Amino acid sequence: MVNVKPPSRTQFLHSPRSHSHREGVSANRSNHSQRPRNHVLQALPTNDWERLAPQMRHALLISGQTLHRAGQPTERVYFPNAGLVSLVAESEGASIEVAAVGRNGMIGALSDLSSKSAFATAVVGIPGNALWLPAGVAYEEFQRGGALRDVMLRHTAALLAETTRSALCNRLHSVEERLSRWLLSVGDYTDCETIDVTHENIARLLGTRRSGVTVALGSFAESGLIDTSRGHVTIRAKSQLEDRACGCYRKALATG
């Protein structure tokens, strides 16, 4: 998962599970008296936040919604407060997740803004909500050379690191290992042990067959690591699931 570190790691990366997903969000415009949960926005100094907040708008992130498509113009930069967005590479009807962004990052990387087109398709995997800025406003802010530029550069570096890790993971590690990693990562970044996702969607994100996902989930359930029901997977034994994951999960935690 792409991660931009806010000023205080302990304050923001380990926020309690009881936080409301609507914290810091008003009906449409951003309420700039309250900082949103998004780590990029939390990392901004007060002056920068107060200047940008009136231009921020609120959006619900709906499962399956495409925020932008690879190769097409990026019109909005999203800062999720809750939920998870998959950045997906597609070719000849097949697809695979190359990175995922939750409240730790932003959708609309610097590369997207400077090239004026998205490098990957962004699809909401886990529903939630976000604040967004028009891409032109975000790019102008970058060119001002202020604090948002610094967090955008850090985010771009983190995104590059994650896509590199994903390339290796997708090539070298088994479906079971990658599935464990994916479930654990999603659980971490949504602060929720129950993940609303179908076998088909997991297979699409992992770039593998649905039957392979179903077999691996069945094996985890038999071992008591997870419970599955229609459209849901619940993590029951996180540490044991970690034992089944490839080392990429712990590497991402260590560097994130």
Rounded Cα gap, residues 213 and 200, in angstroms: 8
Residues 157-196 that bind Zn ion (CB under 5 A): 169, 173
* Contact call for residue 251 and Zn ion (CB under 5 A): no
Residues 90-119 that bind Zn ion (CB under 5 A): none
Which residue, among 85, 70, 74, 64, has the nearest Cα to 114 in the 3D structure?
A: 74
Residue 106 CB, nearest distance to Zn ion (Å)? Answer: 24
Half-sphere exposure of 219 (CA within 13 A, CB side): 14
Q: Is the dihedral of CA 97, 103, 108, 110 positive or negative?
A: negative
Rounded Cα gap, residues 136 and 121, in angstroms: 19
Residue 237 CB, nearest distance to Zn ion (Å)? Answer: 20
When binding is defined by CB under 5 A, the residue of 41, 44, 246, 252 that contacts Zn ion is: 246
Residue 14 CB, nearest distance to Zn ion (Å)? Answer: 24
**3-class DSSP state for residue 176?**
helix
Nearer to Zn ion by C-beta: 197 or 246?
Answer: 246
Scanning 16-24, 90-98, 183-191, 239-247 for contacts with Zn ion by CB under 5 A, the matching segment is 239-247
**Token code pair at residue 31:** 């309420």
Residue 248 CB, nearest distance to Zn ion (Å)? Answer: 3
**3-class DSSP state for residue 89?**
strand
Nearer to Zn ion by C-beta: 67 or 246?
Answer: 246
When binding is defined by CB under 5 A, the residue of 99, 148, 186, 248 that contacts Zn ion is: 248
**Token code pair at residue 72:** 């097409």
Residue 169 CB, nearest distance to Zn ion (Å)? Answer: 3
Cβ contacts of 65 within 8 Å, gap of 6 or more: 123, 124
Enumerate binding residues for Zn ion (CB under 5 A): 169, 173, 246, 248
